[in-house]
Structure 1
Amino acid sequence: MSRRPAGGLGPLRDVVAGDMAGADVAHDLGHLDRVAGLAARIASREGHDGFVTAVAAYVHDHHRAAEARLGRSVAPAECREAARDALRRSGIDEGLHGPVLDAVEATGRYSFSAGEAPAPPSEQAAAIAAFLHDADMLDAMGATGIARAFAYGGAIGEPLWDPAAAVRADGYRSGPTGSVVAHFHEKLLRLRGELRTDAGRTMGERRHAVLEEFLRRFRDEWIESHDDDATAPPAP
C-alpha cells in the first residue's frame, strides 16, 4: 500500500489550489476535484489504487495555469517540475512522483484528433494515464460538460450558435471554434469513442446521451425561435 500523507489528498489539494490561481474557468480547482473523484472511481472499478490516480488528477493541469500566465500553448512536459514540486510540498511519497508525472505527460500528449500517444514507460504509469484520461474526458461530457462548455465559451466571447461559422468538416482543432454548439459537434460528441476503460465507457454512455438530448432540444428551440431549420445546428 502506498504511503498517504497525513491529510490524505487535502494537502495536495491545498497546494494545487494556489498553483492553479488564474487558470481558465474550464480548468479550475472544481474541474480538478471532479476529475480526481472520477479517476479514483474508475481506478477502483478496474482493480487499481484510486488514491494514486487521484493524485495524478490534481497535478494534471499545471500547464493550464502556465498557459493563462504566458498567453500561449504549454505542454504538460514543460510543467513537470512544477507538478513535482506540488507533490513534494504535499508530502506525496517520492516513489509515486515518476509514475504520476509520466502518466500526466502521456495524457497530455494524447488527442483523439492526433491519434494514440506513445505508451508511458511503466505499466503503473500506463494504468494511471488510462484512468486519468477517461476521467478528464468524462468531465467534458454530460451535464457537467455542457456547463463547462458554455462557461468557457462565455469567458472567451463565443456565441451559442453561429450558422455562418457552422461546424468544421475536419473536426476539432485546438483553439476557439465558431460557436459553443459547434464545439459539441467537433469534439464533445466524439469523446465517447475515445474512452479507454470499461468503467469509463459505462459512465460515458450515460453522459453521451445527455449531450445528444441537449443538442436535440437546442435544435428544436432554435427552429421554434427562428422558424427556419436551414440555419439550425445539425442533429446529433
Structure 2
Amino acid sequence: MNKLDIINKTKQFVKVELSNEGSGHDWYHIERVYNMSKYIAQKENADLFIVEMAALLHDIDDWKFSDKQDTTKTEQFLKSVNVDKVEFKKILSIIKRISFKGGLVDSTQDSIEGMVVQDADRLDAIGAIGIARAFTYGGFKNRVIYNPDINPIEFKTLKDVKHKNNHTINHFYEKLLKLKDLMNTNTAKEIAVKRHKFMEKFLEEFYLEWDFK
C-alpha cells in the first residue's frame, strides 16, 4: 500500500470512528487540523506524510474521553495499514505529547512534524471556531456558560481537569488565552495573533452583555 492509499484509508477510518462525536472533536475538527497542518508543514519544511498521519489520528485515543492513557486503537490501525516502523514511532510520539492536559504534563514536541501538528490543533482551539468549540464542549459536559462565583482553576490532577465543577468562560483563562504564546512555529505564531485578539474582543463584549443594566 503506497502512502496516498494509507492516507485515504486513514481518512475513512477516522470518519467512521468520529461519526457520532458531539463535543467539538469530530471529523470536521480533524479535517481543519489536517488542512492547517499541511499548510504549516509546507512553510516549515516538515515531512508531509508524518504530519498528515498524526493530524488525522491525533484524537482517536483522546484522553478526555477515556479512563485509559494509551494509544491502543491508533497503534492497531497503524499496524493494519503496515506503516513503516520508524514512521510508526514518529507518529505515535507526536500524538502522545500533543495534548495540553490542563498544563499539567510536558507536551513539548521533539520534531518539526510534532510542532506543526500541535500548532494546527491549538490554532483550531482559538479564534472564532475555538470559541464555538469551547461552548460545544461545555454543553457536552453539561457545564453552564458562566458562573461569576467560580474563578479560573489551578488544576492539580488530570481528574480535576476532566471532572471539576467549572464553566466554559473559565476555559479561556485556563487554556485558550495561553495558546498564542505556546505556538512552536513562526507560521502558527503569525496566525495565532489575530485569533487571540478575536477571543479577547469576544470576552470584552461578553462581560458587557452579562453585566448590562
2:73 match: 82
Q: Cα offset for 1:23?
A: 4.7
Aligned: 1:161 with 2:146: yes
SS of aligned partner of 1:27: coil
Distance in 2 (CA, whole Å) between partners of 1:160 and 1:87 is 39
Deviations 1:63-100 (A, max 9, x none): 22x764xxx4332xx11x42133234446555522211
Is contact 2:97-2:109 (8 Å) kept?
A: yes
1:38 paired residue number? 36
- Report the Cα distance in structure 1 between the residues aligned to 2:155 and 2:126, rounded to whole angstroms: 17
Q: Secondary structure at the match of 1:174?
A: helix
Match of 2:92 among 101, 107, 110: 101
Q: Secondary structure at the match of 1:48?
A: coil
Q: Distance in 2 between matches of 1:107 and 1:86?
A: 19
Contact 2:128–2:199 (CA<8 Å) still a contact in 1? Answer: yes
> Which residue in 2 is equivalent to 1:233?
none
RMSD, aligned α-carbons: 2.6
8 Å contact 1:134–1:196 — kept in the other structure? yes
CA distance in 2, matches of 1:159, 1:67: 19
Between the aligned partners of 2:155 and 2:119, the Cα distance in structure 1 is 20
SS at match of 2:161: coil
Letter paired with 2:45 = G
Q: Which whole-Å deviations, capped at 9, do the CAs of 1:155-179 have from their partners, x for residues lacking one?
A: 11111111121323x3796225521
Of the structure 1 ranges 40-49 and 135-144, higher mean CA displacement relative to structure 2 is found in 40-49
CA deviation digits over 1:99-151, x for unaligned, max 9? 1112212324x65723644664xxxxx22211111111111100110010011
Number of paired residues?
A: 208
- 2:162 maps to which residue? 175
Give 1:43 shift: 1.2
Q: SS at 2:4's partner residue?
A: coil
In 2: Cα distance, 1:134 partner to 1:19 partner: 23
Note if contact 2:152-2:173 (Cα within 8 Å) is conserved in structure 1.
yes
**Bigger relative CO (Cα 8 Å, ≥ 6 apart):** 2
Residues 1-236 of structure 1: pairs in structure 2 closer than 5 A: 3-6=2-5, 9-21=7-19, 23-64=21-62, 68=65, 72-75=66-69, 78-79=70-71, 81-90=72-81, 92-93=83-84, 95-108=86-99, 113-114=103-104, 116-117=106-107, 120=110, 126-168=111-153, 170=154, 174-176=161-163, 178-224=166-212, 227=213
- What amino acid is the match of 1:114? L
- For the Cα contact (< 8 Å) 1:131–1:197, is it kept in 2? yes
Gaps of 5+ in 2: none
CA contact (8 A) 1:9 1:55 kept: yes
